[in-house]
Amino acid sequence: MDKIIVHGGATLNGSVRISGSKNSALPILAAALLTKEECIISRVPDLSDIHYMLTILSELGCEVERASGTVTVKAEKVVTNAPYDIVRKMRASVCILGPLLGREKEATVSLPGGCIIGDRPIDLHLRGFEALGAAVLVQAGNVKVLAPRLRGATINLQGKFGSTVLGTGNVMMAAVLADGTTVIDGAAEEPEVEDLANFLIKMGAKIEGAGTRRIIVEGVKELHGAEHAVIPDRIEAGTFLVAAAIIGKEVTVNRVDPRHLKALLDPLARAGFEIATTSNSVTLKTGGVRHPLKLETQPYPGFPTDMQAQLCALLATTEGISAITENVFPQRYMHVAELKRMGAHIELEGATAVITGVPKLSGAPVMASDLRASAALLLAGLRAEGTTEINRVYHIDRGYESIDDKLNSLGAQIERVKA
């Protein structure tokens, strides 16, 4: 098992190219199950989660080829049962339910695993399938959905902590081959949902409103093959911008959509960083006085929960008292104990982390608990005095393509070693 060693104190400077979005690529790859024809998907990041999805597609009977970030999938014949041993490593594997139900009118998928960041149920997915006319059975760790015929319906996917991104995509993928019109209220507005919809439209689906709270899907008889390029990963871009804020001079992230980053760029500007954008890049400059922040995570277009841990790392060395309230996954604070091992002063008050900035952090052995927590520890290690040793880095490999190499290209001193 690998571990990452970070030698702190090196200033970041330069530019970095952002990979395709993991959270777009996974459901788009699953959507290829909706047609017997070939689908070509480019800008697919090289991540362990992507490897798991390609393995799942292969096990379901798809012909899968990958070369230089482009994946070709042909699902001429598929099976509808995905057992535990092929879905257990990734929660997003549940997104195969929708396309299998839409195409084959049945699917059986074991309940998946994934990040340990609190309760992440799929009840909203199942509620949507039931509204379309499917029978749902949860038994012995498996979810089975069955519908001799899917019919359009009005569905509300608003959950306790906001809309479900994966659930919106899953129900949308089932609805594209249903009879009649489906209206999804309380839909997730994330760019990744809109990206999936754009791919489905290229396949022949009729979808309106993706990227808004109401999505309207008019069912069609069948879909065809298509080509599509995945959008840039806004969370990877945000992570590099926060790295620049922590210990950078001037860093540019290229191949991004600044509109997707507004909820992060605004607080970074309030914190005292100079932000400049073009149509496909963002540059962050440091040098002024940093200010503390008060933030609350919200579903898109609000401040993203997937950037909460990284902001904790930034604010840990920002003079003054900052506060971040986690409204999406209230238990998503497993990184706090590890940051405190490095000298951060963070206290949890319910779902709020109160952060008192300290002049410096100290390198220490730390343990990654989930994807974004591991990124936060890596960023904190860049600023810390001495050496930080991050264990369980398989978490970071789930969502960041060659993050150590990319940071080193900006001037960081990071090495990956066998534990």
- pLDDT value of residue 281: 98
The answer on 138 and 81 residing in a single domain is yes
For 159, the token pair is 């959950």
**Does the pLDDT of residue 114 top 60, yes or no?**
no
Domain-terminating residue out of 202, 229, 256: 229
**Does the pLDDT of residue 119 top 70, yes or no?**
no
- Per-residue H/E/C for 129-159: HHHCCCEEEEECCEEEEECCCCECCEEECEE
- pLDDT value of residue 117: 43
- pLDDT value of residue 88: 79
CA distance 25 to 233: 10
Among residues of the chain, what percentage have pLDDT more than 90? 87
Residues 6+ apart with CB under 8 A from 320: 291, 292, 356, 357
The answer on 297 and 217 residing in a single domain is no
Domain interval for residue 274: 2-18+232-418
**Does the pLDDT of residue 343 top 50, yes or no?**
yes
CA distance 66 to 44: 9
The answer on 150 and 212 residing in a single domain is yes
The answer on 362 and 305 residing in a single domain is yes
Q: Each residue of 55-105: pLDDT tens digit?
A: 999 999 999 999 989 999 999 999 999 888 878 778 788 999 999 999 999
The answer on 239 and 190 residing in a single domain is no
The answer on 182 and 43 residing in a single domain is yes
**Does the pLDDT of residue 224 top 90, yes or no?**
yes
The answer on 355 and 270 residing in a single domain is yes
- Catalytic residue ranges: 115
Q: Each residue of 278-336: pLDDT tens digit?
A: 999 999 999 889 999 999 999 999 999 999 999 999 999 999 999 999 999 888 999 99
Average pLDDT, rounded, for the chain? 95
CA distance 110 to 121: 13
CATH at residue 328: 3.65.10.10
Residue 121: cis peptide before it, omega within 30 degrees of 0: no
The answer on 313 and 185 residing in a single domain is no
- pLDDT value of residue 112: 66
Number of domains in the chain: 2
Residues 6+ apart with CB under 8 A from 312: 324, 335, 336, 339, 344, 346, 353, 355, 376
- Angle, CA of 339, 340 and 341, to the nearest 5°: 90
Q: Each residue of 349-400: pLDDT tens digit?
A: 999 999 999 999 999 999 998 999 999 999 999 999 999 999 999 999 999 9
- pLDDT value of residue 87: 84
